[in-house]
Structure 1
Amino acid sequence: MAVSLGFFGGAGTVTGSKYLLEAPGRRVLVDCGLFQGSKPLRRHNWEPMPFDPRSVDAVVLTHAHLDHSGYLPRLVRDGFDGPVHATPATRDLCEILLRDNGRLQERDAELANRHGFSRHRPALPLYTEADAAAALRRFAPVPFDAPFDVGGGLTLRFRPSGHILGAALAALSWEARSVLFSGDLGRWNSTIMPDPARVEETDFLLVESVYGDRRHAAEDPEELLAEVISRTAARGGTVLIPALAVGWAQTLLFHLHRLKARRRIPDLPVFVDSPMALNAAEIFCRYLAEHRLTAAECRAACNVATYVQDAGESAALDRDPAPKVIVSASGRATGGRILDHLAHFASDPRNAIVFGGLQAEGTRGAAIAGGAEAVRIYGRMVQIRAEVANLHLLSAHADADDIMAWLSGFRRPPRRTFVVQGEPPASEALRRRIVDELGWDCEVPEHGRIVTLD
């Protein structure tokens, strides 16, 4: 039987990463992400999978972000009962993210039913917190750089990708062949995370392309962050920062700590309004060997903010007129408490909204960053009069030059390279660079395509 690879997410779009590797006697799903963004993309989350979840023998996760892990509770609810292999840090972060997303799914369904702004009667959650708990019981962590037998003659090896804590390159090998999944690649010379591990060879490669058509600017990201915070404080406003509670939030807090310590911004109170961010910070400080910060730096960065736990404290932030910084999930403004704060602060020109990276097409974040005059939140239109900034420099994603630098470390070209996890222009731009500069056999697969790895 030939070995095949199916692209059932993360192909033709940034989100929903799902790659099904089918070898003789073994089916392994690499990543199990949620589709996020536009309604046509989100509809994929509700469609039956193109394969029976019960037929999957194991899941491999490259990292914890929901566009790579967030569909797992639904997969388990629909019958998957095999092991989920991820690094220990990814497992710990998924404990936070999956449970929180289950709660948010339930909360959003309840709000839709109470206020009647859903076409579905009744509106239902994609999955619940209980479903997330069931999925977490399937985890069987695998450490970095430790070859692991996943059955059926397949061997798994994780190596650091430098994107967020626990993020991994996932290499699966069988007989004399191998396939490498990049997951999300981190940036070279990051302040916090290590460089992506060098890989010298693989037969088949899936490489991400989130920033495949652009370069991060050369400016100092801290200086740009300091400028927007200082401007906003001078006019008596509040800075809203939609942030991924896992990964980007910890990087942001480190920069805020340094800016305050160097007195480059006013000594404004910083609030992290995300119940899971405090737990993520604790995990970050637990895995000191997997990032560049010392224990003292890690504690200082995490202690620069006040962590808001309950909904009453969160609502009180909106009633407080004093200048401040509010960091809240989600990073693309697709859900979570950031929506409450946007509904309150976005229409006041004294305030500012600061994004920290690429906003997936079809999300509120993309609309706001793109200059929309109003966005819909909880069924009503909210005017966007606040200053809007997007500091791509703070993104945890490799840019096009970073990706090409990583690819240049291969001793020999892969037999086939697939460019994934990008909007079509970004994926195509990266494909052209790989073909023109490296001379590799390279393509951008379509959603739903199945290829034979021969």
Structure 2
Amino acid sequence: MAIDDVLADLRNKIEKNLPDGVTISGVNFEGPQLVLYTEEPKKFADDGNIIRNLAKALRIRIAVRPDPKVLAEPEKSVEIIHKIVPADSVISNCYFDPDSGEVIIEAEKPGLVIGKHGDTLREITKEIGWIPKVARTPPIKSKTVKNVRDFMRNNLKERKEILRDVGRKIHRECTNQDQWIRVTGLGGSLEVGRSCYLLSTPESKIMIDCGVNLGAEDKTPYLYVPEVSNFNELDAVVLTHAHMDHQGLIPLLYKYGYDGPVYCTPPTRDMTVLLQLDYVDIAAKEGKKVPYDSSTIQKELLHMIPLDYEEVTDIAPDMKLTFHNAGHIIGSAIAHFHIGDGLHNIVFTGDYKYEKTRLFDPAVNRFPRVETVITEATYGNNNGFQTPLRDAEKNLQKIVRETVKRGGAVLIPAFAVGRSQEVMIVLEEAIRKGFIPDVPVYLDGMIWEATAIHATHPEYLNSELKKQIFQKGQNPFLSESFKQVDSKEMREKILEEPHPCVIIATSGMMTGGPVMSYFYKLAPDERNTLVFVGYQADGTIGRRLQKGWSEIAVGNNNTVKVNMDVETIDGFSGHSDVRQLHEYIRKMQPKPERIFTVHGDEKSCIELAESLRKKNRIDCKPLVNLETFRIL
């Protein structure tokens, strides 16, 4: 059946299921959802069950768009919106899109704009015709979030065409009678870095992640193999989270012909753009070959389709995707694929943390169905134990307290996304409760911008943090203790006027970045302390300092004497240790039939596979790069 015939059939079914007196003027696909056009948006707004019942009957996501002729003037609409929405919501702006009939309402408290069970949104539609969408006003100004939102608003027509093309491809008719499922390792198997996998059926090809390994010679996935070398054959890219080893080469796909969607969560979209632009900027400054430019990132952004957790979405004729919380970094997702009409269910965990942390709830491991699991194995070797998180927090508080007491500064090299915010939350609470003195906590490098993205998406934080932010009005990221180092002059002033403080700065392995300016100045003073809260790879300055080097080379034949204390605190990792990896699988519901291990060195992947097989009596093996395994 041709796609136009599919749409005609859907329209016929919709019209038969509509209540008397409710009409539509057209239907079309936009990405994974079916859009209904109507001259009577008020009738749909009056009865919220119309769309719910249609979606249930047709088993498809449905949205309503008003016909342009029934829309109120934007100026008048703004007045009406302000009358309907409680003033406490603090609306900051309204953006109108005549092509989609949507008005985006930015507010500090989106929940008040939505209303109980969406009542306020329906009231807005009834009064002005426009379909309201709500966005949170960033509590910390984020250049990335602003630029992303502005770019999407300024390219609505192109975006709409992309979504229509995606929708027609998703909802094409299945034509192949064969039934098989294969998974191929293209990177990140028996190694950490350049994660990339291909999930194939007779009808579709889905790429899961496409990362770059910044610290190795083999930086890129095997994108030249026949299974994926024609990028136009891909139905979709599914991105589990924003770390560069999972998304760093997605723009390269667009540079060489890919024109399909990237599915990810909203925070992952924003964080991905931030990290990719930084990657391009650093490569250019260091005179390295730049794999893509900002225009390619913009093309990728136009094709990104954000999905919330638990939102079941068609991504191919024979495949549905649902994201679940992974507890790794903000927006990180476990990807659940439902293939065929109940044929098979596969879970790609991506990177996950099966423990409640200061930022996130534990990774989800309960699904409607699951037969195959592809799990990370970063700490999967038999000795892959980490310090309990609460002990790590106490160790950090103790070190800060003792360093400040002797008049010193604490320098924490940290990755901009995840560990920095985890440490910030620990320090904010410790200062607020008086466990450590009220000293300034300076944030240098990309950390402030990454924190602003966290503040923009508080609904992706753990239940306690959400309660603290939404119900108590206390956002720890807005603490006055945090000071953004926004200029070279401010950095120099901090260094020229030594005082008790905490400095969190990039890069996490001390391979460059602003942390080095602080290190060179603070290292000779025995009152100061350097604290590592993340992994230090061999060959990095961070690793040398962990090994006890007392002198570090600087520039041409110069050295810096290291008299400051050097401490390592395990336990802040966003990955599950070996105990948590086992618990995640042991408590998974339902119990899977097969497990593959990935995203770990050879020892970790093999030992985790062996121990999972023995303890759970489940078929388990490591996936190997360039290996294709037939699942069904």
- Matches for 1:238-253 after TM superposition, within 5 Å: 238-253=409-424
Shift of 1:64: 1.3
In 1, Cα distance between equivalents of 2:532 and 2:482: 18
* The 10-residue stretch of structure 1 (123-132 or 134-143) with the greater mean CA deviation from structure 2: 123-132
Shift of 1:89: 1.9
Pair 1:165–1:46, CA change in 2 (3 A): closer
Within the candidate set 325, 329, 334, 2:502 is matched to: 325
In 1, Cα distance between equivalents of 2:496 and 2:276: 30
Residue of structure 1 equivalent to 2:385: 215
In 2, Cα distance between equivalents of 1:196 and 1:100: 28
Q: Are residues 1:426 and 2:593 paired?
A: no
Within the candidate set 195, 198, 210, 1:20 is matched to: 198
Residue of structure 2 equivalent to 1:118: none
Q: Are residues 1:197 and 2:358 paired?
A: no
- State whether residues 554 and 560 of structure 2, in contact with CA within 8 Å, keep that contact through their aligned partners in structure 1: no
In 1, Cα distance between equivalents of 2:557 and 2:309: 47
- State whether residues 372 and 384 of structure 1, in contact with CA within 8 Å, keep that contact through their aligned partners in structure 2: no
In 1, Cα distance between equivalents of 2:191 and 2:549: 22
Q: Amino acid of the residue matched to residue 88 of structure 1?
A: P
Residue of structure 2 equivalent to 1:282: 452
In 2, Cα distance between equivalents of 1:182 and 1:365: 29
Q: Amino acid of the residue matched to residue 220 of structure 2?
A: N
Shift of 1:342: 3.7
Shift of 1:61: 0.8
Residue of structure 1 equivalent to 2:433: 262
Q: Are residues 1:128 and 2:305 paired?
A: no
Residue of structure 2 equivalent to 1:162: 327
- State whether residues 102 and 131 of structure 1, in contact with CA within 8 Å, keep that contact through their aligned partners in structure 2: no
- Matches for 1:320-399 after TM superposition, within 5 Å: 320-346=497-523, 349-360=526-537, 363-371=540-548, 385=562, 386-399=564-577
* The 10-residue stretch of structure 1 (96-105 or 27-36) with the greater mean CA deviation from structure 2: 96-105
- State whether residues 237 and 324 of structure 1, in contact with CA within 8 Å, keep that contact through their aligned partners in structure 2: yes
SS of structure 2 residue aligned to 1:392 = coil
Shift of 1:371: 4.2
Deviations 1:243-269 (A, max 9, x none): 222222221111111121233223332
In 2, Cα distance between equivalents of 1:46 and 1:182: 19
Residue of structure 1 equivalent to 2:236: 58
Q: Are residues 1:439 and 2:617 paired?
A: yes
Q: Amino acid of the residue matched to residue 140 of structure 1?
A: I
* The 10-residue stretch of structure 1 (139-148 or 332-341) with the greater mean CA deviation from structure 2: 332-341
Residue of structure 2 equivalent to 1:119: none
In 2, Cα distance between equivalents of 1:18 and 1:233: 45
**Structure of higher RCO (CA pairs closer than 8 Å, 6+ residues apart):** 1
Q: Are residues 1:5 and 2:183 paired?
A: yes
Shift of 1:346: 4.4
In 2, Cα distance between equivalents of 1:354 and 1:97: 24
Residue of structure 1 equivalent to 2:219: 44
- State whether residues 192 and 601 of structure 2, in contact with CA within 8 Å, keep that contact through their aligned partners in structure 1: yes
Within the candidate set 280, 288, 300, 2:476 is matched to: 300
Q: Are residues 1:85 and 2:255 paired?
A: no
- State whether residues 24 and 152 of structure 1, in contact with CA within 8 Å, keep that contact through their aligned partners in structure 2: no
Deviations 1:190-247 (A, max 9, x none): 2331121122542221111222232222462222002222333345443221222222
Residue of structure 1 equivalent to 2:404: 233
Q: Amino acid of the residue matched to residue 355 of structure 2?
A: W
In 1, Cα distance between equivalents of 2:618 and 2:357: 28
Q: Are residues 1:453 and 2:621 paired?
A: no
- State whether residues 326 and 333 of structure 2, in contact with CA within 8 Å, keep that contact through their aligned partners in structure 1: yes
Shift of 1:71: 2.0
In 2, Cα distance between equivalents of 1:149 and 1:341: 49
In 2, Cα distance between equivalents of 1:378 and 1:416: 52
In 1, Cα distance between equivalents of 2:395 and 2:559: 27
Within the candidate set 291, 296, 314, 2:461 is matched to: 291
Deviations 1:313-358 (A, max 9, x none): 3454444433322112232334433344345444655433222233
In 2, Cα distance between equivalents of 1:450 and 1:409: 28
Name the larger-Rg structure. 2
* The 10-residue stretch of structure 1 (48-57 or 98-107) with the greater mean CA deviation from structure 2: 48-57
Q: Are residues 1:401 and 2:570 paired?
A: no
Residue of structure 2 equivalent to 1:150: 315
- State whether residues 343 and 382 of structure 1, in contact with CA within 8 Å, keep that contact through their aligned partners in structure 2: no
Give unpaired runs (5+ residues) of structure 2.
Answer: 1-177
In 2, Cα distance between equivalents of 1:376 and 1:148: 53
- How many residues are matched? 437
Pair 1:413–1:330, CA change in 2 (3 A): same
Residue of structure 1 equivalent to 2:54: none
Shift of 1:179: 1.5
Pair 1:297–1:258, CA change in 2 (3 A): farther
In 2, Cα distance between equivalents of 1:433 and 1:21: 26
Shift of 1:418: 1.1
Q: Amino acid of the residue matched to residue 581 of structure 2?
A: I
Residue of structure 2 equivalent to 1:116: none
The percentage of aligned residue pairs carrying the same residue is 27
Q: Amino acid of the residue matched to residue 62 of structure 1?
A: T
RMSD of aligned alpha carbons? 2.8
- State whether residues 248 and 395 of structure 1, in contact with CA within 8 Å, keep that contact through their aligned partners in structure 2: yes
In 1, Cα distance between equivalents of 2:611 and 2:558: 41
- State whether residues 101 and 129 of structure 1, in contact with CA within 8 Å, keep that contact through their aligned partners in structure 2: no
In 2, Cα distance between equivalents of 1:55 and 1:136: 20
Deviations 1:398-432 (A, max 9, x none): 22222211111234543321111122333333223
Pair 1:180–1:374, CA change in 2 (3 A): farther
Residue of structure 2 equivalent to 1:98: 276
Deviations 1:73-113 (A, max 9, x none): 2333233221110011211222322222222222222xxxx
Residue of structure 1 equivalent to 2:4: none
Pair 1:205–1:387, CA change in 2 (3 A): same
Within the candidate set 174, 179, 190, 2:339 is matched to: 174
Shift of 1:168: 0.9
Shift of 1:19: 0.9
Pair 1:55–1:311, CA change in 2 (3 A): farther
Residue of structure 2 equivalent to 1:68: 246
Shift of 1:178: 2.0
Q: Amino acid of the residue matched to residue 299 of structure 1?
A: N
* The 10-residue stretch of structure 1 (26-35 or 182-191) with the greater mean CA deviation from structure 2: 182-191
- State whether residues 179 and 205 of structure 1, in contact with CA within 8 Å, keep that contact through their aligned partners in structure 2: yes
- State whether residues 366 and 590 of structure 2, in contact with CA within 8 Å, keep that contact through their aligned partners in structure 1: no
Residue of structure 2 equivalent to 1:117: none
Shift of 1:16: 1.7
Pair 1:31–1:272, CA change in 2 (3 A): same
- State whether residues 186 and 223 of structure 2, in contact with CA within 8 Å, keep that contact through their aligned partners in structure 1: no
In 2, Cα distance between equivalents of 1:55 and 1:374: 54
